[in-house]
Amino acid sequence: MFETMRNAWKTPELRKKILYTLLIIVIFRFGCALPVPFLDPSALAGMVQDGNIFGYLDTLSGGALSKGTVFALSIQPYINASIIVQLLTYAIPALESLQKEGEEGRKKLQKLTGYVALAISLVMSYAYYLSMRNSGAVLYTQGFAGVFTAIVIIAAFTAGSNLIVWLGNLINENGIGNGISIILFAGIIARVPTDLFGMWEVVRSDEKHAQLIPAIVILIIYVIMIGFIVLMNEAERRIPVQYAKRVVGRKQYGGQSSYIPIKVAMSGVMPIIFAMAFMSIPQTIEMFVPDPAKTIAQADMNFGQRFYSGFLHFFNYSGGWYALVYFVLIIAFNYFYVSMIYNPIEIANNLRQQNGGIPGIRPGKPTSDFIQRVLSKITLIGAVMLGVIAVFPIIYNMINPQLRISMAGTSILIIVSVALETLRTMESQMVMRHHKGFLE
Asked if 169 contacts 24 with a C-beta cutoff of 8 angstroms, the reply is no
Average pLDDT (41-64) is 71
CB-count burial class (<10 Å; 0-12, 13-18, 19+) for 73 = buried
| Dihedral (CA of 263, 268, 270, 272) sign | positive
Average pLDDT, the chain: 82
DSSP string across 169-231: HHHHHHSSS-HHHHHHHHHHHHHHHHHHHHHHHHHHH-TT-TTHHHHHHHHHHHHHHHHHHHH
Amino acid at the residue 33:
A
pLDDT computed for residue 434 by the predictor: 60
| Dihedral (CA of 15, 16, 21, 25) sign | positive
Q: Residue 51: pLDDT above 60?
A: no
Residue 440 CA to residue 437 CA, distance in Å, equals 6
Q: pTM to 2 decimals?
A: 0.78
Residue 124 CA to residue 145 CA, distance in Å, equals 22
> Do strands 257-263 and 245-248 pair parallel, antiparallel, or not at all (unpaired)?
unpaired
The helix or strand, by DSSP H or E, that contains position 245, with its residue range, turns out to be: strand 245-248
Neighbours of 320 (CB within 10 A): 12
Q: Residue 258: pLDDT above 80?
A: yes
Q: Residue 2: pLDDT above 70?
A: no
Amino acid at the residue 53:
I
List, for residues 179-212, the tens digit of each pLDDT value: 888 888 888 888 878 777 777 887 787 777 777 8
Average pLDDT (222-226) is 85
Number of helices followed by number of strands (H, E) in the chain: 18, 5
Q: Residue 341: pLDDT above 70?
A: yes
Q: Residue 344: pLDDT above 50?
A: yes
DSSP 3-state of 257:
strand
First to last CA, the chain: 30
pLDDT computed for residue 27 by the predictor: 92
List, for residues 270-316, the tens digit of each pLDDT value: 788 778 777 878 877 877 787 888 778 877 788 888 888 888 888 87
Average pLDDT (16-39) is 90
pLDDT computed for residue 414 by the predictor: 81
pLDDT computed for residue 437 by the predictor: 45
Range ranked top by mean pLDDT from 122-131, 199-208, 254-263:
122-131
pLDDT computed for residue 440 by the predictor: 45
pLDDT computed for residue 439 by the predictor: 43
Average pLDDT (101-125) is 86
Residue 101 CA to residue 82 CA, distance in Å, equals 18
Average pLDDT (73-99) is 83
pLDDT computed for residue 134 by the predictor: 81
Of residues 2 and 88, the one with the higher pLDDT is 88
Of residues 363 and 23, the one with the higher pLDDT is 23
pLDDT computed for residue 14 by the predictor: 84
Residue 25 CA to residue 379 CA, distance in Å, equals 34
pLDDT computed for residue 73 by the predictor: 87
pLDDT computed for residue 253 by the predictor: 60
Asked if 237 contacts 374 with a C-beta cutoff of 8 angstroms, the reply is yes
Average pLDDT (393-421) is 75
Q: Residue 433: pLDDT above 70?
A: no
Stretch among 279-293, 339-353, 401-415 having the lowest mean pLDDT: 401-415
pLDDT computed for residue 160 by the predictor: 92
Domains and CATH numbers, the chain: 1-193 (1.10.3370.10), 212-401 (1.10.3370.10)
Residue 322 CA to residue 366 CA, distance in Å, equals 40
Residue 306 CA to residue 293 CA, distance in Å, equals 8
Per-residue confidence at 392, pLDDT binned at 50, 70, 90?
Answer: confident
pLDDT computed for residue 438 by the predictor: 41
For residue 251, the cross-strand partners are 248
Q: What is the DSSP letter of 149?
A: H
For residue 261, the cross-strand partners are 238
Per-residue confidence at 403, pLDDT binned at 50, 70, 90?
Answer: low
pLDDT computed for residue 436 by the predictor: 46
